[in-house]
Chain A
Amino acid sequence: EDQVTQSPEALRLQEGESSSLNCSYTVSGLRGLFWYRQDPGKGPEFLFTLYSAGEEKEKERLKATLTKKESFLHITAPKPEDSATYLCAVQAGSNYQLIWGAGTKLIIKP
């Protein structure tokens, strides 16, 4: 069964303390892995798409990487405004649906 698991469920960091969020997946025929950010009371905001193992993408303090089994979202020197829930989703095979992880709630304390 296709599955996406995110860890940890929640992560509390001090401002400036770098860390990584994990998204592991078991799917047949990965077509794309997507990272989103969701602020309370808002819809998810698209961050990155990764298509193949070894691919990396960066945006400001965020860097997403992809292997054959998992993706990491690295956050460098985070600021309080980076606090949000980060969602990972996978598209696989001929299935148009995205398989979503449950998210990691990131809290950055000033």
Chain B
Amino acid sequence: GAGVSQSPSNKVTEKGKDVELRCDPISGHTALYWYRQRLGQGLEFLIYFQGNSAPDKSGLPSDRFSAERTGESVSTLTIQRTQQEDSAVYLCASSLLAASYEQYFGPGTRLTVT
């Protein structure tokens, strides 16, 4: 079956603009995760959804970051008033359930803020 897909694959935006990143998880996966990966660094957890609810948003770096999930499917990560330090690859992953199940990752969205 289809894997996790993300769009766009690349996004270049000017400082101060808003951006929306989209994630389509594997069908039937109830858990969805967003991560940030800066160049040459490890994965930084941002937010997790169980169904359409986000039990913990504490990983979001600032109030400029928000995310939603609808229909227990597609999720959107929105970054408002982008800053240069937001430049990174944003990865989405989904898993069948949250507890002790492997996560399957999308290819990521490379965000560059100029």
Q: What residues of chain A have their CB less than 8 Å away from a CB belonging to chain B?
A: 31-32, 34, 36, 41-46, 49, 51, 87, 89, 91, 96-98, 100-103
Contacts and interface: CB of A to CB of B under 8 A. Distances in A.
Contacts of A102: 41-42
Contacts of A87: 42-43
Given A34-B103, A43-B107, A96-B98, 8 more contacts: A41-B108, A43-B4, A43-B93, A46-B104, A96-B55, A97-B56, A98-B45, A101-B42
B79 interface: no
Nearest to A34: B102
A10 to B, nearest CB: 11
A34 B99 CA distance: 13
B62 interface: no
B111 interface: no
Interface residues of B, number: 24
Interface string B91-107: 10100001110111111
Nearest to B35: A100
A6 to B, nearest CB: 9
Nearest to A49: B102
B21 interface: no
Which of B43, B48, B108 has the most A CB atoms < 10 Å from its CB? B43
A47 to B, nearest CB: 9
14 contacts: A32-B100, A34-B102, A41-B108, A43-B91, A44-B105, A46-B103, A46-B105, A49-B102, A96-B50, A96-B56, A97-B48, A97-B56, A98-B103, A102-B41
Contacts of A46: 102-105
B67 to A, nearest CB: 15
Contact of B48 (A34, A41, A43, A96): A96
Interface in B39-84: 41-43, 45, 48, 50, 55-56, 59
